[in-house]
Amino acid sequence: MKKLSHLIMGLAVCMPQPVWAEQTPLSLKNVLQRTQANHPSLQLYKEKAAVIEANRLQAGLSPNPELSFSLENAFGTNEAKGVSGVEVTLLISQLFERGDKKQRRIAMQDSKLAQFQTEYQLTQLDVFTDATAQYYRVMRLQNLLTLSQTQQSTVSAALSTIKQRAAAGAVSNADVARMQFEYGTLQLEQQQLESEFTTAKLRLAQFWLGETDFNTVQKLLPRRSNSNGNVKTELSLPNLADLHNAIDMAPEIQLIAQQVLAEQTTMQLASANSIADLTLGTGVRFHNASNSASLLFEAAMPLQLSNPQQGNIKAARAQIDLLSEQQQLIRQSLKQQISQTYNQAQNQQRRLLQLQSQLLPLAKTLISQSLDSYRLGQISVLQLLDAQKERFNTEQTIINTQVALLNSHLLLQRLIGNTSLSALNNAHSLSPLSKETATSSPWSNTL
């Protein structure tokens, strides 16, 4: 499971080092821990779990015995005047359920319990996916801010060089003004990024209803270098066929499967309820006139002239057929979504590799050569600015592509029901009804 956690946090490579001073940046694991502990949607399930547990307890209760008392021929007239001819009957009876009704009721509540567990995991999965996506947004803005500061430093250094040349009469003051304008534009862009960064952090903190007690988020795993010293991304997607085979792990599929089981137990309970129960009783009868007593036995059973549950049984069967059809449609839809997202992730991987291995080195070479050419008076300040913009636009595109690739991986994992939950160290084991074991995933061997 650690490999899956590394997969989620190992895509954002080649991102600039944050410049904010902070001892402990917020990690994705900490985000998910806070979210699970305080998100309103997850907290409500604890109370719902208590209701289902109580219903299960109720389903396991057996009928209590019934005690009855009757008084006959009392306070009449003539010979039955007063209590001289009274008959007293004391009877205790017990209802005996037939058809395993008690076991069927318990089984139905157990199926509801399992369905509730699946619903909780689905809600948790959606909440964790949204929280992780928001974490990536904060990370993206944080790295764009770092890039913006680096770009300002570069423009500031170029501005100093231009001022020196302008003082020596080598260039006009218009070049100085043009570079100053560029520097001011970058400052305005940074202010906009800082505003968006603050808003993104506030939205992230909403997942645990807390304050933004963090300045930065933790950077993800760095890039790896090959034997030649060149930095490359060591990351691969699972096989598409393995992802398709894992569709049955999808929470929507699992939920419908639980709903089918619940309908089956409902149908079984209805069949059990169609069997008549038996009531047996025994007691004593006392006749005052003859001063005699006798034992009394009683047996009662309703006449089942027709099946009183035939409508409920037919409805449960129809519901099972409907759920089976829905499951097939969802399976086909998930397969298409996985294929589309997988193709998108492959394109993003190829684009990221090209940006990092080809375009970025060329952009760095371009800016270095352009600066030398400008010092020699071979190019204008506008050409120098264009070279600087090409480099930083390439680095910005790399950051955006990395985050887009992260989100594609996250979506693929969400579709098969295996997202950044593992970053919380098997977070599903902390659910209010935790009795589940981890299952294998196509993501296990991707690193």
The DSSP line for 29-83 is: HHHHHHHHHH-HHHHHHHHHHHHHHHHHHHHTPPPPPEEEEEEES-SBSGGGBBT
- Answer yes or no: are the C-beta atoms of 111 and 258 closer than 8 Å: yes
The token pair that represents 403 in the structure block: 């985050």
In this prediction, residue 220 carries a pLDDT of: 63
- Give the sign of the dihedral formed by CA 440, CA 445, CA 446, CA 447: positive
Q: Which strands sit side by side in the sheet containing 292-300, from one edge to the other?
A: 66-72, 87-96, 278-287, 292-300
In this prediction, residue 198 carries a pLDDT of: 95
Q: Which residues contact 300 (CB under 8 A, 6 or more apart)?
A: 278, 279, 281
pLDDT above 90 covers a percentage of the chain that reads 38
Instruction: Count Cβ neighbours within 10 Å for each residue of 308-335 and write b for 16 or more, e otherwise.
Output: ebeebbeebeebbeebeeebeebbeebe
Q: Which domains does the chain have, with CATH numbers?
A: 2-72+86-301+309-445 (1.20.1600.10)
pLDDT at residue 442 is higher than 70: no
**Is residue 253 exposed (0-12), middle (13-18) or buried (19+ Cβ within 10 Å)?**
buried
- Answer yes or no: are the C-beta atoms of 285 and 87 closer than 8 Å: yes
pTM over 0.75: yes
Q: Beta partners for 269? A: none
Break the chain down into helix, strand, coil percent, rounded to 5.
65, 10, 25
Comparison of pLDDT for 229 and 25, the residue scoring more: 25
pLDDT band at 251 (very low <50, low <70, confident <90, very high): confident
- Answer yes or no: are the C-beta atoms of 403 and 219 closer than 8 Å: no
pLDDT at residue 102 is higher than 80: yes
Q: How far is CA 117 from the centre of its chain?
A: 13
Beta strands at 231-232 and 87-96: parallel, antiparallel or unpaired? unpaired
Distance, in Å, from the CA atom of 197 to the CA atom of 277, rounded to the nearest integer, reads: 68
Give per-residue pLDDT as tens, 339-385. Answer: 999 999 999 999 999 999 999 999 888 888 887 887 777 877 778 78
Give per-residue pLDDT as tens, 388-433. Answer: 888 889 999 999 999 999 899 899 989 988 754 444 434 333 333 3
Distance, in Å, from the CA atom of 174 to the CA atom of 182, rounded to the nearest integer, reads: 12
In this prediction, residue 154 carries a pLDDT of: 80
In this prediction, residue 173 carries a pLDDT of: 84
Beta strands at 278-287 and 224-225: parallel, antiparallel or unpaired? unpaired
The token pair that represents 367 in the structure block: 């800016």
- Answer yes or no: are the C-beta atoms of 303 and 265 closer than 8 Å: no
In this prediction, residue 337 carries a pLDDT of: 94
Least confident of 55-69, 94-108, 214-228, 272-286: 214-228
Residue 424, CA distances (Å) to 132, 210, 228 in order: 12, 19, 36
pLDDT at residue 176 is higher than 70: yes
Distance, in Å, from the CA atom of 291 to the CA atom of 286, rounded to the nearest integer, reads: 7
Interval 107-118 mean pLDDT:
90
Give per-residue pLDDT as tens, 187-232. Answer: 999 999 999 999 999 999 999 998 899 999 987 644 444 444 333 4
Counted residue by residue, the chain has a size of 447
Distance, in Å, from the CA atom of 388 to the CA atom of 182, rounded to the nearest integer, reads: 11
In this prediction, residue 383 carries a pLDDT of: 83
**3-state secondary structure at position 282:** strand
Comparison of pLDDT for 435 and 244, the residue scoring more: 244
Q: How far is CA 417 from the centre of its chain?
A: 8
Give per-residue pLDDT as tens, 288-336. Answer: 777 888 898 999 998 888 888 889 899 999 999 999 999 999 999 999 9
In this prediction, residue 83 carries a pLDDT of: 64
pLDDT band at 77 (very low <50, low <70, confident <90, very high): low
pLDDT band at 3 (very low <50, low <70, confident <90, very high): very low
pLDDT band at 81 (very low <50, low <70, confident <90, very high): low
In this prediction, residue 4 carries a pLDDT of: 34
pLDDT at residue 43 is higher than 80: yes
In this prediction, residue 79 carries a pLDDT of: 62
Q: Which of 333, 356, 348 is nearest to 410 (CA)?
A: 348
Instruction: Count Cβ neighbours within 10 Å for each residue of 94-127 and write b for 16 or more, e otherwise.
Output: ebebebebeebbbbbbbbbbbbbbbbbbbbbbeb
Comparison of pLDDT for 178 and 17, the residue scoring more: 178
Q: Which of 439, 435, 370, 399 is nearest to 11 (CA)?
A: 399
Q: Which of 150, 207, 223, 224 is nearest to 26 (CA)?
A: 207
Give per-residue pLDDT as tens, 426-440. Answer: 433 333 333 333 334
Give per-residue pLDDT as tens, 121-168. Answer: 899 999 999 999 999 999 999 999 999 998 888 888 878 877 887 888
Distance, in Å, from the CA atom of 343 to the CA atom of 240, rounded to the nearest integer, reads: 9
Tokens 């499951």 belong to residue: 327
